Structure formats: C-alpha cells, structure tokens
Amino acid sequence: MFKIAVLASGGGTDLQSIIDAVENKYINAKIEMVIGSKNDIYALERAKNYNIDTFVVSRKEYGIKSSDKILELTKDKVDLIVLAGFLSILDGDILKEFDNKIINIHPSLIPSFCGPGMYGLKVHEAVIKSGVRFSGCTVHFVNCKVDGGAILLQETVPVYFEDDAETLQKRVLEKEHIILPKAIKLLSEGKVKVVDGRSKIEE
C-alpha cells in the first residue's frame, strides 16, 4: 500500500480533496498521518474525522529543528510527503531522504509569482496587480530552492478585471482540488520520472 503524509497549516481543503480521492478509491493509497504546523487548525480536525493520526510540529516549539522532527515522524513510514497549504519551509536532511518524494501545491503558474514570501492571498494580490490574464496552480517537487523543484502538473484559470484576491483564490482552489489528487495518483502508480530537472509522465 502506497502511504502518504500530508502537511498542512490551515483549513485543509486541499487535504480534504486527498481524503476524498482515497475514500472513493480514485487513489489506491493510505494517508498515514497529517502533520500540522500549529495547533487548532481545521486540517487536523478533518484528519481526526477520518481516524487519521495527527501530529503538530510548530516552529514555536521546534524552531530550526522542525524539518528534522518531521523527518523523524515520516522516515520509513511513508512513500510520499504532500505539502497541502503548508507554510513552513522544509530544509536539511529530509530533502535528501525524500528526494523527489515531496510535492507541494502552489497557487500560481510557476515560475511566475512564486519564491520566498509568496504564499496565500499574497500570490493572488500580485497576480491581479500584474495585469496577467491567466493564473492557476502548480504541483511541483520540493527541493532546496523555494518553489524550485521540477514541475509535475499545472492547471490554468482566467483572471478577470473585477477579481479581488479572494475571488481569484476560490477559482484557483477548485483546480488545486483536482490536480493535487491527480499528482498523487500518478506518483503512487509509478508513472513519474524526473529527468534533468523536468518531470516526465508516463500515462
């Protein structure tokens, strides 16, 4: 059985999309654990509702050792780590141990509107301010460069003149909930290879 750990920092709607995909057998996998970046986030409640083990690894408690603690929890227990709205940056040994086995969902079309400090509504505000006509979301592998790993899947949405950050975020989230489970499915079926920094999908 393909096992995954999901890391979250907020309400967990991306997590819910993964839970639903597992429940309806779209993905043949088990969510082994959900790790939150702080207590009292709704993502942890979602996990508990499905009897998924939960842990909290906060920067406040673990500081620069946060990534090491996450590695301690996940090593030899999961095949894939999924960052689903996880706002802390992973670093250190976990990136080597889980090389090409950590994915993240980012709310823009990488390489645009990404990198340090670009998360949540800040991304959508920057998109609107720029005047671009399309935005979207990207599932990518995680490496030592923020939002710099190989791109796995992308989906686009239109950007309307009347949009604000919240309306654009809602439109992008709908696509996130489609491509994040799809990416996990592809990886669980061994259909992805990373070649020279690019993802090759073998359908």
CATH code at position 67: 3.40.50.170
Q: How many domains does the chain have?
A: 1
For residue 195, what pLDDT is reported?
A: 95
Q: Is 65 annotated as a binding residue?
A: yes
Q: Is 104 annotated as a binding residue?
A: yes
**pTM of the predicted model, to two decimals?**
0.96
Q: How far apart are CA 98 and CA 85, in angstroms?
A: 19
For residue 203, what pLDDT is reported?
A: 76
198-201 vs 192-195, strand pairing mode: antiparallel
DSSP string, 93-129: HHHHHTTT-EEEEESS-TTSS-STT--THHHHHHHHH
For residue 33, what pLDDT is reported?
A: 98
Domain containing residue 113? 2-201
Handedness of CA 89, 92, 97, 99 (dihedral sign): positive
pLDDT (tens place) for every residue of the chain, 203 residues total: 999 999 999 999 999 999 999 999 999 999 999 999 999 999 999 999 999 999 999 999 999 999 999 999 999 999 999 999 998 899 999 999 999 999 999 999 999 999 999 999 999 999 999 999 999 999 999 999 999 999 999 999 999 999 999 999 999 999 999 999 999 999 999 999 999 999 999 97
CA distances from 60 to 38, 85, 169 (A): 9, 18, 28
139 forms beta bridges with: 105, 153
* Cβ(27)–Cβ(18) below 8 Å: yes
For residue 77, what pLDDT is reported?
A: 98
Q: How far apart are CA 157 and CA 140, in angstroms?
A: 18
33-42 burial, b if ≥16 CB within 10 A, otherwise e? bbbbbbeebe
Q: Which of 106, 124, 140, 177 is catalytic?
A: 106
106 is catalytic: yes
CA distances from 72 to 17, 33, 106 (A): 26, 13, 25
For residue 36, what pLDDT is reported?
A: 97
One-letter amino acid at 60 equals: K
Q: How far apart are CA 90 and CA 37, in angstroms?
A: 12
2-8 vs 192-195, strand pairing mode: unpaired
